[in-house]
Amino acid sequence: MKTETDKIVALSERESNEELQKYLSSLTRDRLTSVITHASLKGKHVGAVIKGIFHGSPAGCAEGSARRLLLYQHCVPLCQSGDLQPEVAADIVGLLMLETHSLPGSCLAQLATLFLEAIKGGKMGNGKSLELFPTVLTALSACESLSYGKGELSGEEYKKQLINTLCSSRWDPQCVIHLTTMFRDVPLSVEELRFLVEKVLRMLTKLDLQEVPPLVYQLLLLSAKGCKKQILDGIVTYFKDQDVCLEEEKKKAKNLDLEVQSLPQDELRHVEGTAILHIVFALRLDHELGREFLKAFKVTSYGDLCPFSVALLLSVARIQRYEEQVFDILKATIIRNFKDEQLLQGSDVMKTLVPDCPNVAQMILETVRNSMFGWDHVTQGLVQLGFVLMDGFGPKPGPFGKTAEGSGAVARTPAQQACKLGRQVLLEGFKMHEPVRGEILEQVLNRLVTKTASPVSHYLDLFSDVVNSAPMIVLESSSKVTETFDHLSYLPLATVQGLLKALQPLLKVSMTLKDALILVLRKAMFSSQLDGRKSAVTGFLLLLKNFKVLGSLASSQCSQAVTASQVQVDVHSRYNAAANEAFCLEILSSLRRCLSQQADVRLLLYEGFYDVLRRNSQLSSSVMQTLLSQVKRYYEPEKDLLPPVKLEPCITALGDQVYLQEPLGHLLSCAVHCLLWLQKTQQSANSNNDDSDDEEEDEGYQSELHAIFESMTGRMLKSELEDFELDKSAEFSMVSSVGVKNNIYAVLVMGVYEVLLEYNFTEANYSKSRFEDVMELFSRYNKLSEILKEKAGKGRASSHKTPRSLLSMGFISTLLPLLFRDSTQSREEALSVFRSNAEFVRYVVSVAVQKIQQLEETGHTDGPDGQNTEKMFRFLCDMTSVLMWYYTNIPSVVEDAGKREKRSSLSLLCLEGLLKIFTTCQQRFPQRMTQLLSNAMWRWTNSATLPSST
């Protein structure tokens, strides 16, 4: 063999090729092919041998063409065999390409048939020789005519027939990638390209998963020729189908308790991630492909979306050119899907017409879960999408700065659902992806600080979720939280409350964070801004509620409003509790300074003391002593003097304006409720109490407060309007300082009446004489209330606003059943005092409606347990059954007297209360609506005496 090889090389180097031709003609076909094979395997002189054969085989003669064809026919399968070194095979293919156009048409046709048969038979091996096929097809298309069957075809038509035959044949899955690569160099018409793309896309399902990304890459390169939409749609559809198959396998495995793993999830996710990278890379380079990609999503329905396409869109959003368009598409798709779901839920007809509505929110959340398989290129898009949804669809500011949507409201409108979805995306992203945690936390805190003019309740909810789900991770970024503390004085009160509530779990385990907060709150206490001081009080009260002192009642007994943290740390150990006691007493000392500040600051303090006492019963002495000393400042100790309260120190003047300085009614209400709760608690725990000194001390301030309230009741019953410097003919307009002062005095006196009314009822123990005192207190309250209404009626109607009642929600929910449905014989005489007074009954129902409305609008009520959602729901259940019973059982004829007046009847008032209860439950307790109704129906149909809810 070496001799023939050397001779061919030597003869080819001569100028004349006659001897070379003679020598090549002397070699048989088998001998010539053996020489070529030997040279190729050795890797030496193969290029020279092939050049020599071409040199000694003129294309113009039949023998030379036949020898050239033999060379091609032998070298093509030789290169495909895999026996040659890659460099040798590449050199051979390159040399063959150079001489392809010199072959006559018949030889080209035979050569094309050779390729066609090899592809059909799956004998393409490594696909190296396929690089030659485009050159053959191009040369064929240049031929004028070629024999085809019994006739002739032009070269171009012949090429089309070959391509049609090739795309219609069965392809071996191993050669799909090579063929797709090869077709990039073949000139194709639009129809041929479409046919080819369909063929390749169908072959996707027959490939191993690991071979899919390379084929996707080749398809994207092929898209430069056209059919861009078809290629993109085909890729997305393939992965969508794979996800569906995976879900079906999971369901089957779950039903059969088997592990079916024909489609490994982790492998599929990694393949999807690689495919997404290829597509994004292609879109960066090909702007036309990018436009076609976005256009497809703009015109398609959201039903064609899938987790893969969502992930693809979010990855494409990293390209600045497409970022805005991508998020606009996603926002529009999400909101449209929520609107359609809402329409379906409200119409049975639509449900029958459109049985299945794809859930885009579930697709997006599935994308978040899938992103944990190394989809770093998707993660940033998910974070952006979360904030885009929360920014775009969060609660909007309503009139007069009020939030248009309740902060605790359940997501009902499409916009609310979209906002909730954004929150879920960010929360899940925070849990799964460490690299974006810092960014999410920083952006949430930045929005809390900067969006002071807009509601931020949705960001507070997200921050609370983040803290509870991963407290130790948040602690790693405690510097960002500490920076936020510096802005507390300038934030709205609701934002401060939400932020500090969310931080409670961290404050229990981080001394650094707690110390930083205390320092900021102390500075805020002396802020020149009222909101800053209110924020300080709010912060201190929250700390008092959540740092439990040793010996206080268990959390199950005191129903704290803030749930326990998921941080597994013993914050109630003896050491921590002892330290907490000193800490809490120090805070109480700071809070006492608030008792000399504006009414708004004091009001916050009085609203919070009750919850502090329930949470930290060991602080009772300090809290009660503080309240007692404050009450004494406005209480007239001389028992013969009227009135028993000093109203003048409760107001202050600045220039021509008169302001409320001390919300006396709220102070007395706080003192009464704290006193009654403490008294009840100590009575129940009296058998276990061995500390006689503390007991004597407690009994000291308790008896003193009881004496004050008893004395106050007796003297308020004797006091006339003139004793309070009030007269029914006096001015009560809000345009003059005299009218403002009289209005403040009137509201303060009405508040005192209400507080004493609740106190005396609680202490009465169904005594008729005490109930008569209660009715006398109400009579005086009602007289003053009527005066205010009358004076307001003479002026502008909008100038009068009924002051919010100081009666507690618990008291109202106890009183309503007693008025309407209690049939206990021993109570009948005493309760007849109340039932005989129609104005009192109407007043109680009106206050109930007022409290329910406040709960609906804000999620809480004034007074004790107003923040306790469990007790609020229980109170709603109690009131529902009573209002329902009255509305359905009392004939309208009985209320004719009420109809003659310009106000709604008591039945309609009960109906209004029921409507507000159902609205509130739908909004605040959507999962418990069935419980509310079943509870109400049971109580409504039960003729037994209703139990009181105290």
Out of 588-597, 891-900, 941-950, least confident range: 941-950
For the ranges 73-87, 260-274, 575-589, the one whose mean pLDDT is highest: 260-274
The whole-angstrom separation of Cα 554 and Cα 299 is 60
The whole-angstrom separation of Cα 405 and Cα 857 is 9
Average pLDDT (652-670) is 90
Q: What percent of the chain has pLDDT over 90?
A: 27
pLDDT band at 213, cuts 50/70/90? very high
pLDDT value of position 559: 39
pLDDT value of position 582: 79
Structure confidence by residue, pLDDT tens digits, 189-200: 888 889 988 988
pLDDT value of position 632: 94
pLDDT value of position 554: 47
Does 531 score more than 50 pLDDT?
Answer: yes
pLDDT band at 178, cuts 50/70/90? confident
Average pLDDT (462-486) is 88
Structure confidence by residue, pLDDT tens digits, 273-326: 999 999 999 998 888 888 888 888 877 676 678 889 899 999 999 899 899 999
Q: What is the DSSP string of 554-583?
A: PHHHHT-SSPPPS----TTSHHHHHHHHHH
The whole-angstrom separation of Cα 113 and Cα 119 is 10
The whole-angstrom separation of Cα 701 and Cα 707 is 10
Average pLDDT (767-774) is 92
Q: Is 262 helix (H, G, I), strand (E, B) or coil?
A: coil
Q: Please, which residues have CB within 8 angstroms of residue 522's CB and are 6 or more apart in sequence?
A: 536, 590
Give the up-direction half-sphere exposure of residue 578: CA atoms within 13 A in the CB hemisphere. 2
pLDDT value of position 567: 36
pLDDT band at 99, cuts 50/70/90? confident
Q: Pick the closest to residue 906 from 922, 920, 893 (CA basis).
A: 893
Q: Which residues pair with 678 in a beta bridge?
A: none
Does 257 score more than 80 pLDDT?
Answer: no
- Running DSSP on this structure, what letter comes out for residue 946? P
Q: Pick the closest to residue 387 from 359, 427, 360, 414 (CA basis).
A: 427
pLDDT band at 386, cuts 50/70/90? very high
pLDDT band at 782, cuts 50/70/90? very high
H/E segment holding residue 811:
helix 809-820
Average pLDDT (421-437) is 90
pLDDT value of position 948: 38
The whole-angstrom separation of Cα 833 and Cα 819 is 10
Does 557 score more than 60 pLDDT?
Answer: no
* Bond prior to 104 in cis (omega within 30° of 0): no
pLDDT value of position 620: 87
pLDDT value of position 949: 36
By the 8 A CB rule, do 151 and 188 touch? no
pLDDT value of position 840: 94
For the ranges 28-32, 141-145, 663-667, 895-899, the one whose mean pLDDT is highest: 663-667
pTM score, whole prediction: 0.79
Does 145 score more than 60 pLDDT?
Answer: yes
pLDDT band at 950, cuts 50/70/90? very low
Q: Which residues pair with 146 in a beta bridge?
A: 153
Average pLDDT (7-26) is 75
Q: Is 654 helix (H, G, I), strand (E, B) or coil?
A: strand
By the 8 A CB rule, do 831 and 819 touch? yes
pLDDT value of position 550: 54
Q: Please, which residues have CB within 8 angstroms of residue 502's CB and are 6 or more apart in sequence?
A: 460, 463, 464, 467
Helix axes 478-485, 493-507, angle to 10 degrees: 140
Q: Please, which residues have CB within 8 angstroms of residue 170's CB and are 6 or more apart in sequence?
A: 120
pLDDT value of position 453: 82
Does 692 score more than 70 pLDDT?
Answer: no
What's the mean pLDDT when you consider all of the chain?
82
Q: Pick the closest to residue 561 from 518, 611, 605 (CA basis).
A: 611
Q: Pick the closest to residue 70 from 84, 86, 50 (CA basis).
A: 50
More confident residue, 892 or 206: 206
pLDDT band at 798, cuts 50/70/90? very low
pLDDT band at 619, cuts 50/70/90? confident
257: number of Cβ within 10 Å: 6
Average pLDDT (36-59) is 76
Q: Is 660 helix (H, G, I), strand (E, B) or coil?
A: strand
By the 8 A CB rule, do 334 and 361 touch? yes
pLDDT band at 555, cuts 50/70/90? very low
Average pLDDT (442-453) is 90
